[in-house]
Amino acid sequence: MRTAPALLDLQRCFLDALYDAEETGPTEQLVDVGIEPAARLRIYRHNSELIHLEALRTTFPAVAALVGEAFFEHAAAHYRCMQPSRSGNLQAFGEHFPECLERLPNVQQFPYLGDVARLEWRRQVAVLASETRALTRAEFESRLAALEGAARMALHPSMQRFVSAYPVLALWQYATQPTAERLTLPESGDRVVLWRSEGEVAMAAIDSASFACIDALARGDTLDAAHAAASAQDPSFDLPACITSLVAASLVTEIIPVQPEESSSCACSDI
C-alpha cells in the first residue's frame, strides 16, 4: 500500500526537481490523467527557470547584451543551479552572478565580463539603497562653520565605488546604448562612483585622487585622512572642489564631529 509522504518530504522532492532536470520529483504522488506527471513537473521547472532568468536579465542588461541571448540563458541556468535563490524577494537574486560568470569556460577569453557584471550589481545596490536626506549647500556650510575639530562625512547610502582594470563604464554604455560606430576602448581601467539621482543610477569615472578621497570618506575616515589619501595619488588634489561636487550632487548627508580623543587635528580648514 502506497503511503503519501509528509508535506515537508514532498516539498523537498518537488523543489529538487525544479532545480535539477535529472531529479524525477514526486511523480508517483501526482494524478496521471491526460498529461504525464513528469511533463506537468517540467512546466513548473520551466516557469521557475524563466522567473530567475528574467530577474538576472533585469539586473544585468549589459552582460546580457554583450554575451547574447543564448549564452546568457546558459549562464543564468548555470548560476541558478550553483546559487539557488535564497529569498522570496527576487531583488536579492544575482549577488554572486559575476563570480559564477567568470568561471564559465567560454568567458575567460572575455576577462572584462565579470567586472561589467560587478558594476551592474552595484547599480542594483544603489537602486535599492535606503533614502536619506542630503544636506543643502547652506546646511553644509553652516555645519562646517560650527565645526571646532576634525570631522567625518556621511555619504548617501546609495553611493557605491568600483575599481576595475577594464574600461567598464565605456563597455556598459556601449552594451546598453549601442551605436553604429565601432567601439574604441581606452587601455586604462576605471574608477567608478555610482549613486542614485532622481530615481536613476548615475555613474562617473573619476581620477584616482578623487576616488581615494571618496573611498576614504565612505569608509568613515576623517576629512584629514581622506585628504592625505587623495594627495598621495596627486599632490595637487583639490579637496574643496571634490567636497563641493559631492554636496552639489546631494551626496553628503551629515558632517560628524570627531571626538577630541579620536583626533586632535582640524580637517576642515581647507574647505
Partner 1 sequence: MSNEEIIAMSASPMPAAAGIGLRAPHVSRVLRERPRVPWFEVHSENLFAAGGSLHGAMERIRADYPLSLHGVGLSLGSADALDSLHLKRLVELVERYQPALVSEHLCWGAVGGRHSNDLLPLPFTEEAVALLASRISQVQDTLGREFLVENISTYLRFQDGDYTEWDFVAEVVRRSGCGLLCDVNNIYVNSVNHGFDPRTYLHSLPRDRVREIHLAGFTRKDEFAVPLLIDTHSRPVDAAVWDLYAEAIAYFGPVPTLIEWDQDIPELEVLLAEAAHAEEVLDAYRACTA
Residues at the contact surface with partner 1, assessed by CB under 8 A: 4, 6-8, 10-12, 14-15, 18-19, 26, 29-31, 33-35, 37, 39-41, 43-44, 47-48, 51-52, 55, 84-91, 93, 127-131, 157-158, 196, 198-200
Cα 67 from Cα 110, distance rounded (Å): 10
Report in angstroms how near the CB of residue 254 gets to partner 1 at its nearest. 16
For 233, residues 6+ apart whose C-beta sits below 8 A from its C-beta are 207, 208, 209, 211, 212
Question: Closer CB to partner 1, residue 48 or residue 231?
Answer: 48
Of the pair 10, 104, the CB lying nearest partner 1 is at 10
Q: From the CB of 242, what's the least distance to partner 1, in Å?
A: 25
**Cβ pair 267, 223 in contact under 8 A:** yes
* Smallest distance, partner 1 to C-beta of residue 52, A: 7
State the Cα–Cα distance between residues 206 and 118, nearest whole angstrom. Answer: 18
Nearer to partner 1, 124 or 222 (CB): 124
Least separation, in Å, of the C-beta of 121 and partner 1?
14
> Three-state SS for 149?
coil
Distance CA 136, CA 118 (A): 31
> Measured from the CB atom, is 91 or 142 closer to partner 1?
91
Compute and round to an integer the Cα radius of gyration of the chain: 25
Smallest gap, in angstroms, from Cβ of residue 96 to partner 1?
A: 15
Cβ proximity to partner 1: between 40 and 78 the closer is 40
* Minimum distance from residue 138 beta carbon to partner 1 (Å): 23
DSSP string, 123-142: HHHHHHSPP-PPPPHHHHHH
Of 32 and 270, which has the nearer Cβ to partner 1?
Answer: 32
